[in-house]
Structure 1
């Protein structure tokens, strides 16, 4: 028989799994340690299994607890979605809007756009998720996403906001020390900065970009922000958005004719969110702002 077990029991289970102790879980949940302990004990009794064993290292999860973890995470995600949906309902531009974007776009491009959005609608709360992973809007991992690959999912509202060109750049000090490559083959004698694990954008590259491949990199990192910092520090040659590099006079583009990667840029949102004033305002602000950015007029 299926039992109706209180959600707070699973919430406490997830907190203990994440934080490793009753006390740490209690601090994270802003409840008392005895309350967390009672929740775990009650959940073990309802399920008829042991969820943790005690050791010198603290509470160790059993195989049953680990098996329950993804389901508890799904419940927590659903609870968060319900809270956001309730907050976005009603009149006025208010509630929470969760926006997903890549690291570089989220740090270098979106701040002035979001600042103006919040000036117009101070009751709107923006959650900015920086990730190079394509967030699944159908599962509501985000309400709105800025993507550098064309959306393929159905039931999405989508607007193409322009094309962002990516090229290879190096600090002028690096080029003064090592010389400038004049042909793609010259890259073999340079320190190249790039990814560790290729993402969707990288996998879409072809042609001359094959010379800029993982096995040739001298410095590898999956953080685009770290790659940009390395380029700015004069560590080597790496990929950068042309519009961003134009802001720094010390960065010089190399092999512009041979190596350019145009990225279609989209703003996407689940179609069910069109009834949310907050999501619609955020969507429109992102479209307007990113169109200005791709046109080179964003300030």
Structure 2
């Protein structure tokens, strides 16, 4: 019997739906459905009745769920006992994250991880490229979008809220925009080849094209410095803007959709204690951040 099917069975019971189990386990909804079907086939029972209200345990499912949870508990105990055979968790974990996350979010978290696990070495790949995890160049990734590959385990750990900002010096020189349409009369800092800002403005119903940006760069560190220097109006993470009192929040009615933060790793995290410990530590730390 495939242990993954038991885990999926428990997740569907706990969440009440295939979609809920999919989000908890970080696998696709069709994969969840396939696990349940194959488990029912192997046991020759019907575990759920499917209806508009979700997945309801059948009588057979009710008889088996307690045993399934007991198996889950024993599996966790097995992992802990195996880990206790090693004196310490040690080795290298390679993390890939966006340049923004790597520079402004992760440093303090990684310092705390090192304090908790002094023999775990961290290699941090700061890049906005998305191919590191798939090409096995990294053990885990932190991205501002949800990966869709079925062979990866992913979970949402936070959301990054954004705002519109300019320096006091810039506003005194060029005036304050009071409505979104006023941005057309201002110097703006934007991205060069990335479409995140353009797509976001279009989603808010604003006309936009790359020519409206007086300054264009894809490097988030340079982007911030341009805004801080008074080059123009820019879009910044609120948590970062709070650290720079010279930045003034403008256009509060311009509701910019937050960016979701996802933590992703390979399936091997279940058997690699070093990576699993790092993933759990990062997930807990990132979830607690007020962003």
Q: Please confirm whether the aligned pair reaches a TM-score higher than 0.5, indicating the same fold.
A: yes
The CA distance in 1 between the partners of 2:283 and 2:131, in whole Å, is 18
SS at match of 1:230: helix
The CA distance in 2 between the partners of 1:250 and 1:212, in whole Å, is 27
The CA distance in 2 between the partners of 1:250 and 1:183, in whole Å, is 21
The CA distance in 1 between the partners of 2:119 and 2:153, in whole Å, is 24
Task: Give the structure 2 partner of residue 266 of structure 1.
Answer: 262
SS at match of 1:188: helix
Match status 1:275 vs 2:281: no
C-alpha spacing 1:209/1:137, structure 2 compared with 1 (3 Å): farther
Task: Give the structure 1 partner of residue 171 of structure 2.
Answer: 175
Task: Give the structure 2 partner of residue 190 of structure 1.
Answer: 186
The CA distance in 2 between the partners of 1:283 and 1:204, in whole Å, is 31
What are the superposed Cα offsets for residues 110-156 of structure 1, whole Å, 9 maximum, x if unpaired?
Answer: 00000010111121111111111223423212211111111211122
CA contact (8 A) 2:89 2:119 kept: yes
Where do residues 40-59 of structure 1 align in structure 2 (5 Å cutoff)? none
Question: TM-score of the superposition, structure 1-length normalised?
Answer: 0.64
State the 1:100 CA deviation: 1.0
SS at match of 1:153: coil
C-alpha spacing 1:150/1:210, structure 2 compared with 1 (3 Å): farther
CA contact (8 A) 2:190 2:197 kept: no
Task: Give the structure 1 partner of residue 224 of structure 2.
Answer: 228
The CA distance in 2 between the partners of 1:203 and 1:185, in whole Å, is 15
Moved over 6 A (4+): none
State the aligned residue count: 205
Task: Give the structure 2 partner of residue 291 of structure 1.
Answer: 287
State the 1:236 CA deviation: 0.7
Where do residues 211-222 of structure 1 align in structure 2 (5 Å cutoff)? 211=207, 213-222=209-218
SS at match of 2:257: strand
State the 1:211 CA deviation: 4.0
CA contact (8 A) 2:198 2:210 kept: no
State the 1:204 CA deviation: 5.1
State the 1:210 CA deviation: 4.4
Pick aligned residue for 2:129 from 123, 133, 148: 133
Structure 2 unaligned blocks of 5 or more: 1-84
C-alpha spacing 1:169/1:213, structure 2 compared with 1 (3 Å): farther
State the 1:282 CA deviation: 1.3
The CA distance in 2 between the partners of 1:114 and 1:209, in whole Å, is 39
Structure 1 unaligned blocks of 5 or more: 1-89
The CA distance in 2 between the partners of 1:140 and 1:126, in whole Å, is 16
Q: Compute the RMSD of aligned alpha carbons.
A: 1.9
SS at match of 2:109: helix
